[in-house]
Chains A and B, each alone.
Chain A
Amino acid sequence: MSSNSLLFSINNEGKVYALSTSGSCWREFMYLGLEFKTLSAVPHFLWAVGGDRQIYLHVHGLEIPIRVKEESYENERWLPLEGFSGRLLPTDRYHFSSQDGTKDRSIDCIRLPSMAWQWEGDWQLELTLDGQPLDHDGWTYAVDFPAQFGTVKQWKSCVRRRKWIRYRKFSAMNSWCAIAPLHKDPTQEPFIDVSIGGNQIPYATPGTLSVWSITAHGRVMYRAGVSTTSPEGLKWINVSIPPNCDIKQISVGPTGLVWALLWTGRAIVRKGINKDCLTGEAWLEVKSPAETKLTSVAVGFNAVWAVSSDSRVWFRKGIEGHAVGHSETAAMGSGWLEINGNMLHISVGINDQVFAIGESNKGVYWRSGITPAELTGKRWRMVQANMQLSRTSSTASIISSTSNPKHHSLSLLNENTVELKTNINLRNSWEESHSAPIENTLPLKPSKELKPKKNVNIENIDLTGKSYETTLKNPRAWSPVRSVGSVVGMEAQPDSDSSVFDVDSGMYFDEEVSQAAWGTCDATWTFIEAGACAIDTIQVPHWFSDSKNVHNSDITAKWRLEILENLKNGNNFNIDLSNFGLAIEEKGWTRSCEARLVGEKKCGEDCILSLYWHAIENSGTLSVFQPDGTIKFILNLEEITSIITSSEPGCPRITLTIPNQSEKFIKIQFISEMEQEEWFSVLIDISSQLNGLSGKPSNSSIWMVTNSGDVLNFDPIVIQSNIDKQGSYVKDYRVFGKDILTGYTNTLYNNFPPGSELKVVGCLDDEINRFHINLQGPEVQKQRHKIETEVLDIPLHFNARFDESTVVCNTKKAGHWDYEERHPLPFRPGHEFTITITCAEKEFIIKINDSQFCTYKHRLSPESITSVLVLGPLKLYTLEYFSRTAIIGPNEMIWRTIGGYLKKVETCQNGIVWGITHDHRAWVYTGGWGGGILKGIGGNEGIHAMTDTQTYCVYENQRWNPLSGYTSTGLPTDRYMWSDVTGKHKRTREHTKLLNCHWHWISEWMVDYNTPGGVDNEGWQYATDFPAPYHGKKVFTDCVRRRRWYRKAQLVTEGPWIRAGSTALLDISLWAHEKTASVWAITMAGEAIYRTGVTNTTPAGLHWEHINSPHSFVSISICNGVIWAVGRKGELFYRESVSEENRGGVNWKLIETPKCALTFNPKAGSGAKLVSLTNNAAWVVLTNGVIAVRTEVSIQQQEGRHWKYLTDCEVPFRHVSCMDHEVWAVQNDGTVHRRLGVTEHNAAGISWQLIHCGPIVHVSARGSNVY
């Protein structure tokens, strides 16, 4: 259920159906008066040959539109008399050009590639340059053309340019879109087959697709320019075929490999298809299995399957997807293998999963048990999904989709009987217009799409196939530039057309309601297409008769209820059981193993771990023995506040955090992964039981993600309910026996706002001269001596001076003492004392031995107090701190491992939690707990399969020498010849190991041809010397080169998370209002989107709404209707006019950029990196790691007013998350800090408090609402 993909099929009436892997019924595509012959699909793109033998394209299931940015640079040169003008020197670039000036990009010549595209707004000027705002004309200035452009016009600025941008959008989404025919008369050369693939061509640029087709004249055509951003491609190119070959079917695999079948039943293979030559080099013939004629062939990644005319099934051995572009044998395979079963048609899907249509019953079968190791699978299983009863009427579907969006498919079913008559008539009319379908559908379309078919110019066909030129004698042949003729039907809105694209298995989807409308009639299929269908072989879809559906009915079956009822009755005895003992005594249990303690310097000490746990007493200890059996130390399990994995490849480790001990954490390395996982889940289980943690954490939890992907949760509610007494909260510091002579300090976690109280009980020494109690602010580093710290602000200094017989109260402001207030001394040496300091609205009230002693007016805000200091010759008995809100110090924060594997986690105040994995997929928290190595710790409720992919990169470095050219022998001072990106660490392909057994490689080592900076044919990048900018073209001065190798690994695990949408995300932000939530996100392409329909009951929401924006973003934050986003170049924007009615807002507005160069790293840029908004401020992390706070941000003043920079911390920050007065941040070293003293008036707070040693990569405090 982790992903939702579609299996397509055509029934014997030519109607297209789709079956979702997360659903359980076939849903019919909206019928538009056109039957289909064949289909071919990759995810989101479906190509088909219609009943009229024309080719149609259907783009679907994309949550955000396909948008392409067109850019044009307007260049001007300064001329002495005219000033700047568009008249340029003859040697100059075009007036309107591409960025490098080599291409003419006149704005009026930039047209939409086809009718399927629409402009989104008009040409606009880009008004920023690298985050710096430009004047309203958007000009940037330079000395001459190939030069650095700056924002300011100088005396030497001879040229200027500005950038025009305009977006176009693919508007034919979710509808059939006709691809223009080869000739003006579509009947002249109709098509008989089409196939799409090529989405996994090794090394090719992401998004590449390849489409091949066959015409009725037997010509093979390749569609040039098809990609995910240009779904319809540009034009057909003929690919010559060997003489005497009459091709009837073609299949393109994900690697671009093409197999074609001839009418004679033989197969031919196109060799040499690789990233540089998508059309391949030549055809090779493959022998058919003896005495059989193949009738259907399907190409997968590492497999080719075929069906012969006697309906036998054949598997082609020896296909190697990675090598098909270079090796003939890899493309051709080595031999046929007969597979049992009789099939008519076959199709290979993602991961080489195979679907076929059975000969006997025309049902759809899936080949189960196909794994990379066993590509032939085990056996055929019939897909038994319910059918949506046919809604054949084209008028009905079109009318209804304009009406009630949600339920129309149900209402349609009811109307079916009425519509039947019209239906027949319509059918007849279609019969006549078979070969020219397009115009006839147009009148049915709503106004928007009512564009006349474009007149297309007759042009000469573009040829690459050499044989073509000689054979083609037809002068009328033409290939339209605007290739997509028109759109059949209207654009179906994903939310209003509930037919195919309904996510019929949302987390909380009520399947029963929709099931009611589905029939179980047997279908006769003629065609199956699995190219877009991703089957999870571990969690098979509910397509098979014996799967979950049957089981669900058991739960409510009468016999089951009867058994349960009787069992319950059987366990009630009507006798007194008080004198019956228990047969099995509850004993504590122990578990021990040998392990190794890992210290700071990575050296290890062998030890024996022993865990003792008594469930009834709810107590346990973890003892660490030395190998000789002597005790090293014993930990009380209650002291452990977090348990995280900290493994490295080959070294399975766990880190336990124990804040109360002198060593804040211990790291244990286990002998095997299995042992580590068992200890991990046992420790988490026990620790959660000890702390009373189970089930779904409360809404106000804080969430974190560690660098090993563990998701941690701290739930303040649990502690609050434990310590809530009479409306105020008490914290008793353990002070007995502490050394007071040199001063005892403790943090006051909630500061000291009015209502707080501090009670000090102790005994003075006989010999005493002075003692004092300070309520003080944070320690800061001294200006001169960086090692020492001092306290600059002490709002209350209470000093008893026995030599002067007086008590002095004072305040220290910014390092300088104020005037003193003196009172007579109430203490006597050697006597016990009680001092109570209460903070009132305007003053401190100080009581000594339970009688009022004095008051002291506030001179500094009591909220700025962060700690208490007691110093003097005395003994402390108790030190109690009362607060109106819960007092939770870092020692009490129990971090529970929730399960799952994420990179980012974001929450909001009503408990909706989203996460993002390394592969940028979005996940929603289901409320469960456990999964993966935590097994069934919290039951199986809400636990789903999770996967993640990560790419491992190593760099191969070479140096040029005059004798042998580039070799892998470098200079002694050089970096490792195989290294990481920095060159400082040695990394080789052979020594790159996976983290644990849950990861597995999904690719081989491959050269990365998409390394930033550009590469040459072999993937090399050149530079003059090693730490220098790399470029893709070798020049004379280059002495070194490098190339990047990458390999992908996949993690398979489980966790309480479920996929939400298929759009890849960079960042996400949530804001709760009552039972709904606003969810805004940034896509991989940097576009801003927001999610509709996110509520407490449907936290995954419905679908994404796209926000048009000329900028591309990296980070976003929303709070209370204010939305801020960070642009790719560090600029900050806010979204104007977001309201309940217009949730998307109107416009992006630039915000003044923060400027803060830092003493410790002045070089690093100071653009913004990420942003987190609270009610009154915006917290922004800059690229140099400084945190900047924008104050007075409100709905009226969305851009805020002032920048404040937090410079009191030397370590740069990597992440910040805030809500109300809670601000949490992660530093680059992985430690988590919380900001103390954030108040209404002091939005930037006072000091940082260390919460967790990490290593943490992400924190979200945006659920907090109790403070």
Chain B
Amino acid sequence: MVSTENPFKINVPDEKLELLKKKLELTTFSDELEGAGREYGVPLTDIRRLTARWRDGYEWRKHEALLNAELPQFTRDIEVDGFGTLNVHYVHKKSEVVDAIPLLFVHGWPGSFIEVRHILPLLTEASSDHPSFHVVALGLPGFGFSEAPTKKGFEIRQYAELANKLMLSLGYNEYVTQGGDWGYAITKLMAVNYGQKHSKAWHTNYPIATAPTLKDRPLAYLINLVSKLTPEEKAGLERTAWFFGLGHGYSAEQSTQPQTLGYALTDSPVGLLAWIYEKLVNWTDNYPWDDDEVLTWISIYWFSRAGPAASLRIYFEANKAKPNMFLTPLPSKIPAGHSYFPKEIFKFPKRWSNTPNLVFESDHDSGGHFAAHEKPGELVGDLRKMFGKGGPAFGVVPGKTGYA
């Protein structure tokens, strides 16, 4: 089952760098309304500044080298039923601790494998005080340096199948998962389709819930009726209302006409920059993005193997296969864990949660959607509590408790 790994180093061809530079030099900027701020979208000053930096000053090769140094990367052919073989890019780092817990980390959009960067050393680090993990960070098909599917219909079920097969191919017959955004949806389905046999527990920083109804959850409904919202809960619901009211346009287009959108994102670096940067700012909790940090994140999309348009299709396929799948609880039997960050884009009163077997919950007073990137210490702290000695999911992977 276990075959050798094929090491991979990011090495974007020179002509791609030159083309990017040529395009950046020809950038035509739009105007902006007076006093627009962030109200109409990404501010022009930010885009001008980032474009200028990307054009002159930002050194892709330096950041490419840093990524290659920090993140041990590999590629592997994985066969997906009905879709042939996809060459998948992933990060894989084993802890020194032999019996570390195998953990699959699954990113979302507009994320990528880069989101494992801050948590990787913390997860693998050995200590008698907390568990260690062997970490696999999957590059989703169509993202980063993974191949994209060429046929229609590659939806969450296929992503889950591929992710499970990757873990098995690496010798991790049993593992736990961590995911947010699409990573939430994929690991949720893995919990159902491969739960107990392979996936032993799942943790998310993107817990979804819906208001209980009298019909489906009468007790929760009644409790909800009489409970007053705390200020945090109110703020959370306002955040969710903001997201659905003002922050959902990208999803509506990506779920319905991804190809149409894809032309601009593929042809215009500044168009791609704006499309993603808006989320990096709006979805985080005042995270102090460094310009080069932003540009590295976006360059991964620009230089991605399948191009940025491919990354949009997950929205279309998931929406077509099962509209509202994010909102649908699934009958998983394995332990689940939630981390709640206040600036996540979906935020609901915890008592609405209907995740089966929820054994771990942790609240934070800062942090947003990109938890692994913004709050690596807090996220890893939660995983250590959930899976460590005395934790509710301790020893969930037999023989791999995470300690020496």
A binds B: no
Chain A interface (Cβ within 8 Å of chain B)? none
